[in-house]
């Protein structure tokens, strides 16, 4: 039967008027409304949208795996002519993993921790096909080679925790491909991975689509990844598809105000904080049971028309002249986009002031005690984790300095030293003329403490759930000695809430009554409560939805400019860094490999790592052409870093043995633009730019 | 792994040493008390001093402790005041009896609670799950002495099919073992069941179970190959630690049913200030508890490949 | 830029919030049954003087079966014991004993265990190792063995029972608190408090502890049930509250020799203690269920 199924030549998958709901104690919650999709052999369709838009629910419905409380309440999912809802449990079992396979968001969680990977791979063909153990083993070995895993035999006998995250995801992909499925569902397969590892997986997925001619549904919140992997795209908002079409149609000639809004809210290479600022989408995603009548996007839309937009379900209509391009907007033809000039977040550039922070050859080592037998014999029980090695850079008043790097690059350690939670092992951290490298936070004066504050990454974690927003802000004000009188403190709390554009009654609320974006705003207010000279923002928007990111970023920039604060912006998102930073510091395994102004870092000469990083960042712009550089291997561990240049194990431009033995020199290209590499600067200058825009007419000189 | 085992054993020895010191301080800190307990309240001051002198009680306290500890290690626990024989002679047969009781109880508790726990956790929220969960709460709420009374009332008083005491005066009798085992098992099974259920329910919600289902594996395979292996790690630890609880339970049960076991001996010794028996019993109990804890820790590490291979 | 506005909640008093949490419990049938049982016994204990038909220690008529009429009117609903005391009255007064010493001992155990757990979890390092080792040593005694030794050494009295329970339970509480703190201390709001130079005690007490209260309340309910069992067991073994005051465990012990002929004497105290413990266990289960939903 399964071979029969694979010769089928109609559409692989058809979702017709599909509606899915969850049933909770609060009643029925519609997760997906009126979803239509037709997938032919070899098609790859992207589902893109923010959290809670129903994109993953669609995938789970296709798998017919929706838990106890989820169910299809309308429409049908037809796979190769068979309505999945009518299949028996046994028939479904034969489809799952065999004809329809899935790749998941977190590979570590998706693999059974107590079984070898080999077993987990082999059981797929063993349960779907009539083959013996040896055949299953050789099939598994072959497929591991297909997903470019080195040493497949070793992988087969490993447990999941013994290989890296990127390798785990390759194993999960191999597992999905083992029985050569007709349909592959990929649910945010790279979200949990570092950007250079992500690039490798994305390339693999694109390769698979070609090689196996598998139909794919790619689910992501990242428009850039959709562009890299899909032919068609469905943009989802709050349970509905609001726009569908080919990638070119949707990316270049989007019709729906939400799609338009999304593209204006993400920092594409053309955006610039002064000339072409980001435009946030106002408001926030409606909760499923609070959706407005008519268009779900209505309350956030600038083109909302009373009467037409809020009466009845809006139907999908075809854009005239583009057969496959549909849009769920009753006004798509009326909106005059050329006349639409929304207010962006940004503003005039300001002059940089005097030096606020100067870091000179700062090192931070952690001791770890090794209790293994080998260490006992050799006698080197204590080893050092070189979290930061020779960090030197400066930051001026009202300047934004971005620190860029992947996980384990040492940016968090650096922040800890700066905040006084750790003391430096060596070197200087001069803040406003005073070396604070050996002052833990307890020894700093309240004023010193208040003048360096931090904005944190995780909105669900940044505020204490047990105390009200007002109480938490008041504590900071009192602690830093800004005010001591009860009424003045209350007044100051209100001012701070005004500053971050939150209603004043939020002071009485508990954090759980706030949305993610609102919590981040409170987090920003908290950081600015002590009138700081410098704020360290550690990935402040990376956990937020795209449409909210721009607003929070803009707010942070506004406040920073107003108070002439120095902003240290720690991020892995190069697009965002390019948009808002004045200077960029690129870190790899605790070392600074390159630093300079934003323009200098984003154009040649590059450090090879910067070059690879730039190439790895997915960009949601069809007019961009990128060089493809896929790094080999894994991020080395900081416990056991490579000798010589830290990047030598993965470098695409490695010279030879010199890279493995000698520390690279710091070479200055222009004043302040420093690259740490053995390759002569003249060579590096000859390198082609990673990103090229080939539709010049769209791009005013941004650089 | 080897290092880990050795380290755990080291901790175990250290714990035993500290426990012995505690016991020593608690029970032998004042020689006068010891002499009163040994010779009885009606002994004369002179007699007591003579006894203390003869047994080295006027030596410095650390010397006494080490001598006491040394004797302990070679199995010389002193003489029981009540039975007038070396403690070992009383203790070992009693311990064997308790061993039989404990093994029989575990023999009932382990299979029953694992099966019920897995069944309940497999389908969280189902009627079966709720029935098992509530009944395990109910049985753990009945203290051993209460269930002993209740079960005796039913099986001895009403039905008259089981003996009400388990003295075993005429040799080993399986029938006399039934009620004590029942009482211990009823109380203990609830906890193990609930822990197994919780562990199973947690595993069933993990993403790797979802992966296994969506691979198209038959449900039985998903449970047997993917779920059980991970879900049974916690219950293993719980069962090992349950032995510690059993040692508490046997005191009540043996007392109630007049079973000649270790628990009854400890209680008797405590009520009669038979200090050398108390010391020996306490050390044995702690040794069993610490040893099972060590086995539990090592076993947990072994069963968990994430720890085993890192 | 403006965020969607929702209705403004008024500042809630803590009493109102407590009532609201109880209202939440309504969604768990098991929890409500538990709460009802516990409340029943609390009321019985509070009004034992009014409710009990006879004085608890008065000898009236020995070995009377339940439902017999008393000589001077009234009825021995649950019969009398071997020295002629009314069992119902003794159970009612016994509830008072249990519900005073049980919670008292539990509170004492928590006030020792929580600071230890906070210190071990938050400060870590040597503090943690020392505290954890002490806890391990105490926990390596089988509980009842520990109680028997302590009570046999220091004597049986209400205060000593509280001391013994505190000594034996604090390490367990410490472990739970420590685990919770280890989880909570890596939260960013704790990090934020550290970066603004808050002293450690304040971080532990204000930033961490309030967020651990959910699991701790559930644990306290379970532990209270267990402490009640312990008090009962000690009474049963003759190590409990000194006679003649009514104590459920003691009542069973005194009468169990005759339980074969007069089962009602031991049966009713057994049901009393089991139902009270069941009440706390069900309440804990309900609370856990409700807190997981939140």
What does the alpha-carbon distance between residue A275 and residue A347 come to, in Å, rounded to a whole number?
Answer: 8
The average pLDDT across A641-660 equals 86
Mode of pairing for the β-strands spanning A355-369 and A426-431: antiparallel
Any idea what DSSP says for residue C4? P
- Give the per-residue pLDDT at B278: 87
**pLDDT tens-digit profile of C125-155?**
889 999 999 998 888 888 888 888 888 777 7
C57, burial (CB in 10 Å: exposed 0-12, middle 13-18, buried 19+): middle
Phi/psi of residue A334, nearest 5 degrees: -90, -25
- Give the per-residue pLDDT at A701: 40
A596 close to C (CB below 8 A): no
> Is the predicted pLDDT of residue C65 greater than 80, yes or no?
no
How many A-B residue pairs are in contact by the CB < 8 A criterion?
A: 87
**Chain A closest-CA separation from residue B288 CA (Å):** 28
What does the alpha-carbon distance between residue B208 and residue B223 come to, in Å, rounded to a whole number?
Answer: 12
Categorize the per-residue pLDDT at A370 as very low, low, confident or very high, splitting at 50, 70 and 90: low
- Give the per-residue pLDDT at C24: 75
Angle at A165 between CA A162 and CA A169, to 5 degrees: 105
**Chain C closest-CA separation from residue A129 CA (Å):** 42
Q: Which of A476, A478, A498, A502 is nearest to A488 (CA)?
A: A478
Tokens of A592: 């600074």
Residues of chain B with CATH 1.10.3720.10: 88-303
> Is the predicted pLDDT of residue C293 greater than 80, yes or no?
no
Lowest mean pLDDT among A573-582, A688-697, B217-226, C10-19: C10-19
What does the alpha-carbon distance between residue B176 and residue B190 come to, in Å, rounded to a whole number?
Answer: 24
Between chains, do C197 and A479 touch, taking CB under 8 Å as contact? yes
Categorize the per-residue pLDDT at A584 as very low, low, confident or very high, splitting at 50, 70 and 90: very high
- pLDDT above 90 as % of chain B: 27
**Residue B305: HSE in the Cβ half-sphere, 13 Å Cα cutoff:** 15
Mode of pairing for the β-strands spanning A82-83 and A400-404: unpaired
Categorize the per-residue pLDDT at A6 as very low, low, confident or very high, splitting at 50, 70 and 90: low
- Give the per-residue pLDDT at C276: 94
- pLDDT above 70 as % of chain A: 95
> Is the predicted pLDDT of residue B42 greater than 50, yes or no?
yes
- What ranges in chain C are assigned the alpha helix state H? 14-25, 29-46, 48-51, 87-118, 125-139, 143-154, 158-184, 188-195, 200-202, 213-236, 248-255, 264-293
> Is the predicted pLDDT of residue B228 greater than 60, yes or no?
yes
**pLDDT tens-digit profile of C35-61?**
999 999 999 999 988 888 888 877 777
A478 close to C (CB below 8 A): no
B206 close to A (CB below 8 A): yes
End-to-end CA distance of chain C: 30
Any idea what DSSP says for residue A441? G
How many A-C residue pairs are in contact by the CB < 8 A criterion?
A: 85
What does the alpha-carbon distance between residue A324 and residue A14 come to, in Å, rounded to a whole number?
Answer: 15
Lowest mean pLDDT among A443-447, A522-526, C290-294: C290-294
Q: Which residue has the higher pLDDT, B173 or B138?
A: B138
Categorize the per-residue pLDDT at C277 as very low, low, confident or very high, splitting at 50, 70 and 90: very high
From the list B216, B225, B305, the residue facing A113 with the nearest CB is B305
**Chain C closest-CA separation from residue A579 CA (Å):** 19
Per the listing, tokens 């000798």 go with A643
**pLDDT tens-digit profile of C223-243?**
999 999 999 998 888 888 776
**pLDDT tens-digit profile of A294-324?**
888 888 888 888 877 888 788 888 887 777 8
Per the listing, tokens 């999304």 go with A262
C148 close to B (CB below 8 A): yes
For the CA atoms of A250, A254, A259, A265, what is the dihedral angle to 10 degrees?
Answer: 100
Mean pLDDT of chain C: 84
- Give the per-residue pLDDT at A175: 92
Phi/psi of residue A386, nearest 5 degrees: -85, 85
- Cβ-based contacts of A127 with chain B (< 8 Å): 215-218, 221
Phi/psi of residue A182, nearest 5 degrees: -85, -25
- Cβ-based contacts of B137 with chain C (< 8 Å): 30, 278, 281-282, 285
> Is the predicted pLDDT of residue B109 greater than 90, yes or no?
yes
Tokens of A34: 């009126």
Between chains, do B247 and C229 touch, taking CB under 8 Å as contact? no
Write the CB contacts of A108 (distance below 8 Å, at least 6 apart in sequence): A160, A161, A165, A168, A192
Phi/psi of residue A328, nearest 5 degrees: -100, 75
CATH value of C36-54+76-293 in 3.50.50.60, 1.10.3720.10, 3.30.565.10, 1.10.10.10 = 1.10.3720.10
ipTM higher than threshold 0.90: no
**pLDDT tens-digit profile of B134-150?**
999 999 999 998 998 88
Q: Which residue in C has a C-alpha nearest to residue A504's C-alpha?
A: C8
Categorize the per-residue pLDDT at A4 as very low, low, confident or very high, splitting at 50, 70 and 90: very low
> Is the predicted pLDDT of residue B296 greater than 70, yes or no?
yes
- Give the per-residue pLDDT at A695: 55
Lowest mean pLDDT among A70-84, A374-388, A463-477: A374-388
**pLDDT tens-digit profile of A218-232?**
999 888 889 888 889
**pLDDT tens-digit profile of A606-636?**
899 999 988 888 888 888 888 888 887 777 8
Q: Which residue in B has a C-alpha nearest to residue A60's C-alpha?
A: B214
**pLDDT tens-digit profile of A76-97?**
999 988 898 888 989 999 999 8
> Is the predicted pLDDT of residue C6 greater than 80, yes or no?
no
> Is the predicted pLDDT of residue A698 greater than 60, yes or no?
no
The average pLDDT across A112-132 equals 91
Length of chain B: 310
**pLDDT tens-digit profile of A406-450?**
877 888 888 888 888 888 888 888 888 888 888 888 888 888 888
- Give the per-residue pLDDT at C5: 36
From the list A98, A114, A161, the residue facing B230 with the nearest CB is A114
The average pLDDT across A138-150 equals 89
* Best residue of A345, A442, A464 to probe chain C, by most C CBs closer than 10 Å: A464
A119, burial (CB in 10 Å: exposed 0-12, middle 13-18, buried 19+): middle
- Cβ-based contacts of B19 with chain C (< 8 Å): 137, 140-141
Which helix (H) or strand (E) element contains residue B109?
helix B87-122
The DSSP bridge partners found for residue A537 are: A455, A569
B165, burial (CB in 10 Å: exposed 0-12, middle 13-18, buried 19+): middle
CATH class given for the domain over B88-303:
mainly alpha
Task: Note every long-range contact of A494-502, with CB atoms under 8 Å and residues 24 or more positions apart, other chains counting.
Answer: A496/A525, A496/A526, A496/A528, A496/A529, A497/A469, A497/A473, A497/A525, A499/A525, A499/A528, A499/A559, A500/A524, A500/A525, A500/A555, A500/A559, A501/A555, A501/C1, A501/C2, A501/C3, A502/C3
Lowest mean pLDDT among A370-384, A530-544, A574-588, C214-228: A370-384
- pLDDT above 90 as % of chain A: 18
Categorize the per-residue pLDDT at A699 as very low, low, confident or very high, splitting at 50, 70 and 90: very low
- Give the per-residue pLDDT at A472: 92
- What ranges in A147-242 are assigned the alpha helix state H? 152-156, 165-177, 195-212, 223-229
Task: List the domain boundaries for chain C.
Answer: 36-54+76-293
From start to end of A230-354, where are the E strands? 232-237, 240-246, 317-318, 326-327
Lowest mean pLDDT among A48-57, A541-550, B48-57: B48-57
Q: Which residue in B has a C-alpha nearest to residue A121's C-alpha?
A: B215
A95 close to B (CB below 8 A): yes
Mean pLDDT of chain A: 85
How far is the CA of B255 from the CAs of A218, B167, B176, B213, in angstroms? 68, 10, 14, 51
What does the alpha-carbon distance between residue B80 and residue B91 come to, in Å, rounded to a whole number?
Answer: 10
From start to end of A320-469, where are the E strands? 326-327, 355-369, 382-396, 400-404, 426-431, 434-435, 452-455
Write the CB contacts of C250 (distance below 8 Å, at least 6 apart in sequence): C235, C236, C238, C240, C241, C243
**A window 75-104, beta carbon within 8 A of C:** none
């Amino acid at each position: 039967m399964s071979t029969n199924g694979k010769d089928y030549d109609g559409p692989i998958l058809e979702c017709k008027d599909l509606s899915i709901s969850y049933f909770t104690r609060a009643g029925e919650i519609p997760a997906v409304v009126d979803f239509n999709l037709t997938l032919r052999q070899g098609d790859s369709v992207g589902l893109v949208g923010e959290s809670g838009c129903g994109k993953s629910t669609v995938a789970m419905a296709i798998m017919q795996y929706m838990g106890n409380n989820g169910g299809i309440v309308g429409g049908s999912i037809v796979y190769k002519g068979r309505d999945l809802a009518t299949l028996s449990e046994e028939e479904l079992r034969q489809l799952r993993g065999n004809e329809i396979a899935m790749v998941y968001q977190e590979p570590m969680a998706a693999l059974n921790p107590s079984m070898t990977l080999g077993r987990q791979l082999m059981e797929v063909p063993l349960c779907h096909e009539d083959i013996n153990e040896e055949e299953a083993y050789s099939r598994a070995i072959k497929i591991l080679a297909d997903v470019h895993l080195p040493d497949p035999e070793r992988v087969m006998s490993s447990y999941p925790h013994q290989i890296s995250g990127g390798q785990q995801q390759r194993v999960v992909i191999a597992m999905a491909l083992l029985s050569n499925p007709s349909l592959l569902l990929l649910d945010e397969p790279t979200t949990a991975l570092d950007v250079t590892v992500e690039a490798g997986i994305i390339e693999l997925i694109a390769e698979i689509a070609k090689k196996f001619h598998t139909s794919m549904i790619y689910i992501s919140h990242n428009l850039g990844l959709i562009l890299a992997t899909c032919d068609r795209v469905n943009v989802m908002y709050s349970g509905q598809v609001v726009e569908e079409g080919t990638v070119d149609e949707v990316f270049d000639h989007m019709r729906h105000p939400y799609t338009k809004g999304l593209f204006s809210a993400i920092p594409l290479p053309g955006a610039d904080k002064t000339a072409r600022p980001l435009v946030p989408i106002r408001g926030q995603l409606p909760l499923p049971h609070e959706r407005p009548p008519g268009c779900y996007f209505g309350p956030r839309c600038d083109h909302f028309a009373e009467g037409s937009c809020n009466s009845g379900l809006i139907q999908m209509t075809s854009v005239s002249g583009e057969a496959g391009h549909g849009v769920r907007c009753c006004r798509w033809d009326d909106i005059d986009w050329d006349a639409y000039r929304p207010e962006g977040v940004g503003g005039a550039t300001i002059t940089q002031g005097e030096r606020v922070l100067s870091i000179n050859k700062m090192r931070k080592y952690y001791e770890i005690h090794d209790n293994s037998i080998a260490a006992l014999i050799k006698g080197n029980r204590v080893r050092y984790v070189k979290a930061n090695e020779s960090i030197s850079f400066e930051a001026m008043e009202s300047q934004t300095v971005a620190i860029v790097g992947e996980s384990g690059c040492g940016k968090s350690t650096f922040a800890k030293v700066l905040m006084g939670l750790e003391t430096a092992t060596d070197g200087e951290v001069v803040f406003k003329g005073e070396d604070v490298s050996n002052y833990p936070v307890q020894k700093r004066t309240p004023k010193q403490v208040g003048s360096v504050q931090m904005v944190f990454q995780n909105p669900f974690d940044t505020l204490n759930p047990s105390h009200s927003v007002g109480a938490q802000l008041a504590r900071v004000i009192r602690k830093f000695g800004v005010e001591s009188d009860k009424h003045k403190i209350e007044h100051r709390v209100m001012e701070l809430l005004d500053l971050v554009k939150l209603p004043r009654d939020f002071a009485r609320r508990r954090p759980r009554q706030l949305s993610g974006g609102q919590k981040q705003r409170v987090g920003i207010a908290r950081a600015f409560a002590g009138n700081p000279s410098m704020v360290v923002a550690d990935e402040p928007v990376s956990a937020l939805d795209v449409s909210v990111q721009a607003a929070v970023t803009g707010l942070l920039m506004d406040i920073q400019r107003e108070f002439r604060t120095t902003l240290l912006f720690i991020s892995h998102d190069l697009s965002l860094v390019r948009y808002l930073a004045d200077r960029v510091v690129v870190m790899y395994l605790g070392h600074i490999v390159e630093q300079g102004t934003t323009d200098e870092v984003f154009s040649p000469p590059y450090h090879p790592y910067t070059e690879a990083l730039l190439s790895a960042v997915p960009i949601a712009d069809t007019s961009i052409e990128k060089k493809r550089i896929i790094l080999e291997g894994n991020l080395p561990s900081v416990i056991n870093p490579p000798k010589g240049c830290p990047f030598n194990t993965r470098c695409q431009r490695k010279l030879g043995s010199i890279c493995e033995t000698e520390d690279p020199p710091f070479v200055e290209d222009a004043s302040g633009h420093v690259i740490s590499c053995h390759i002569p600067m003249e060579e590096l200058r000859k390198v082609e730019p990673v990103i090229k825009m080939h539709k010049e007419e769209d791009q005013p000189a941004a650089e | 792994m080897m290092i880990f085992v050795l380290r755990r054993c080291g901790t175990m020895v250290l714990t035993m040493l500290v426990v012995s010191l505690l016991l020593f301080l608690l029970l032998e800190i004042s020689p006068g008390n010891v002499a009163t307990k040994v010779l009885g309240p009606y002994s004369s001051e002179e007699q007591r001093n003579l006894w203390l002198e003869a047994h080295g009680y006027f030596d410095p306290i650390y010397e006494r402790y080490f001598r006491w500890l040394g004797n302990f290690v070679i199995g010389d626990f002193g003489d029981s005041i009540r039975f007038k024989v070396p403690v070992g002679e009383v203790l070992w047969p009693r311990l064997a009896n308790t061993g039989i009781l404990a093994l029989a109880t575990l023999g009932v508790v382990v299979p029953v609670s694992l099966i019920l726990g897995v069944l309940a956790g497999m389908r969280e929220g189902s009627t079966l799950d709720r029935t098992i969960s509530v009944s395990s709460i109910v049985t753990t709420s009945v203290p051993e002495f209460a269930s002993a009374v209740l079960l005796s009332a039913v099986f001895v008083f009403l039905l008259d099919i089981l003996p009400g005491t388990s003295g075993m005066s005429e040799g080993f009798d399986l029938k006399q073992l039934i009620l004590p085992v029942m009482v211990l098992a009823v109380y203990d099974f609830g906890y193990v069941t609930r822990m197994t259920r919780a562990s199973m329910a947690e595993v069933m919600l993990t993403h790797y179970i979802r992966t296994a289902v969506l691979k198209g594996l038959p449900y039985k395979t998903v449970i047997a190959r993917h779920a059980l292996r991970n879900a049974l790690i916690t219950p293993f630890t719980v069962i090992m630690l349950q032995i510690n609880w059993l040692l508490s339970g046997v005191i009540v049960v043996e007392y109630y049913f007049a079973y000649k076991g270790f628990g009854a001996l400890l209680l008797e010794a405590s009520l009669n200030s038979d200090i050398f028996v108390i010391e020996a019993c306490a050390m044995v109990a702690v040794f069993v508890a610490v040893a099972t804890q060590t086995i539990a820790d090592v076993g947990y590490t072994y069963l968990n490949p994430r720890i085993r291979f890192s | 830029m403006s965020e969607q506005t929702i209705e403004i909640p008024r500042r809630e008093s803590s009493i109102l919030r407590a009532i609201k949490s109880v209202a939440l419990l309504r969604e768990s049938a098991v929890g409500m049954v538990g709460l009802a049982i516990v409340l029943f016994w609390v009321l019985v204990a509070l009004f034992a003087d009014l409710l009990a038909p006879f004085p608890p220690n008065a000898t009236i008529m020995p070995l009377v079966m339940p439902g017999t009429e008393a000589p001077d009117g009234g009825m021995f609903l649950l019969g009398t014991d071997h020295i002629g005391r009314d069992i119902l009255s003794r159970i009612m007064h016994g509830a008072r004993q249990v519900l005073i010493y049980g919670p008292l001992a539990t509170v004492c155990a928590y006030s020792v265990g929580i600071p230890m757990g906070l210190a071990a979890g938050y400060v870590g390092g040597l503090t943690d190792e020392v505290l954890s080792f002490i806890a391990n040593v105490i926990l390596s005694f089988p509980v009842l063995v520990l109680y028997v030794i302590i009570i046999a050494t220091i004597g049986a009295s209400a205060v000593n029972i509280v001391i013994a329970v505190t000594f034996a339970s604090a390490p367990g509480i410490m472990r739970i608190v420590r685990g919770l703190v280890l989880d909570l201390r890596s939260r960013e709001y704790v990090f934020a408090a550290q970066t603004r130079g808050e002293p450690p005690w304040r971080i532990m007490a204000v930033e961490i502890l309030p967020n651990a209260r959910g699991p701790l309340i559930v644990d306290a309910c379970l532990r209270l049930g267990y402490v009640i069992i312990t008090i009962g067991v000690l009474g049963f073994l003759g190590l409990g509250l000194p006679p003649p005051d009514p104590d459920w465990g003691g009542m069973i012990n005194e009468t169990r020799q005759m339980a074969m002929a007069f089962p009602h004497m031991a049966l009713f105290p057994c049901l009393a203690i089991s139902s009270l413990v069941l009440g706390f266990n069900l309440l804990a289960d309900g609370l856990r269920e409700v807190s997981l939903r939140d």
